[in-house]
Chains A and B, each alone.
Chain A
Amino acid sequence: GAGVSQSPSNKVTEKGKDVELRCDPISGHTALYWYRQSLGQGLEFLIYFQGNSAPDKSGLPSDRFSAERTGGSVSTLTIQRTQQEDSAVYLCASSLAAQVGYIYEQYFGPGTRLTVT
């Protein structure tokens, strides 16, 4: 079946502009995750959705970052007033919902490479 898809695959934006990154999870996966991968910071967790709810937003780097998920499916990560340090690959992952005593693996999308000039 189809994997996690992300769009756009590449985004170049000017410093100070807002950007929206989109993630389509695997069908049937109720859990959705955003990560950021950069040379200096490695793979960094940003936020997690169970359904449309994000129990913990503390991983978002600043208040310029926000994320939402609608209909338990598509998610959007928005970065306002982008800065050069926001340049990174933004990865989305999805999984089946955790059960009592069992965690499912996360499947990752191809990522969106964001470059802030």
Chain B
Amino acid sequence: AQKVTQAQTEISVVEKEDVTLDCVYETRDTTYYLFWYKQPPSGELVFLIRRNSFDEQNEISGRYSWNFQKSTSSFNFTITASQVVDSAVYFCALYSGNTGKLIFGQGTTLQVKP
């Protein structure tokens, strides 16, 4: 079975705090891809990052960083020095097989307060 679990339903932080969004996935495939998307209040899903199963290097992009660990089937997302504009729902997603299907977690709502 393929599944993505985002155990944190809602997180609230104060601006400038660091925050980590957890993502745990399940798949039996050896080749798969993991994604993070952001859905701001405007509603449109915005692509943030793609990672394939053979690349366990962590990635940093500005204030965003991602920690991929196959040993724990996790692909966590950290925002450093959070800002109010980071307030959104964040989705982790899994792609495996040739179905074209992205399997999404339930999403984590992040609220950054000024």
The chain A residues found within 8 Å of chain B, CB to CB, are: 31, 33, 35, 42-43, 45, 48, 50, 55-56, 59, 89, 91, 93, 98, 101-111
Contact in complex: A43, B99 (CB < 8 Å) = no
- In the docked arrangement, what's the CA distance between A98 and B42, Å? 29
Contact in complex: B100, A56 (CB < 8 Å) = yes
The chain B residues found within 8 Å of chain A, CB to CB, are: 31, 33, 35, 37, 42-47, 50, 52, 91, 93, 95, 98-107
Contact in complex: A110, B43 (CB < 8 Å) = yes
Question: CB-CB < 8 A to A91: which residues of B?
Answer: 45
In the complex where A103-B50, A103-B95 touch, is A48 in contact with B44 (Cβ < 8 A)? no
Question: CB-CB < 8 A to B99: which residues of A?
Answer: 48, 55-56
Interface centre among B44, B45, B104 (most CB of A within 10 A): B45
Contact in complex: B104, A43 (CB < 8 Å) = yes
Partner of B45, one of A42, A56, A108: A108
Question: CB-CB < 8 A to B98: which residues of A?
Answer: 55, 98
Question: CB-CB < 8 A to B105: which residues of A?
Answer: 42
Q: With CB as the reference atom, state the residue of chain A lying closest to B32.
A: A103
Contact in complex: A110, B44 (CB < 8 Å) = yes
Question: CB-CB < 8 A to A101: which residues of B?
Answer: 31
Interface centre among B35, B100, B107 (most CB of A within 10 A): B100
Contact in complex: A55, B100 (CB < 8 Å) = yes
Partner of A89, one of B33, B43, B52, B101: B43
Question: CB-CB < 8 A to A35: which residues of B?
Answer: 102
Question: CB-CB < 8 A to A31: which residues of B?
Answer: 100
- In the docked arrangement, what's the CA distance between A42 and B33, Å? 20
Question: CB-CB < 8 A to B103: which residues of A?
Answer: 45
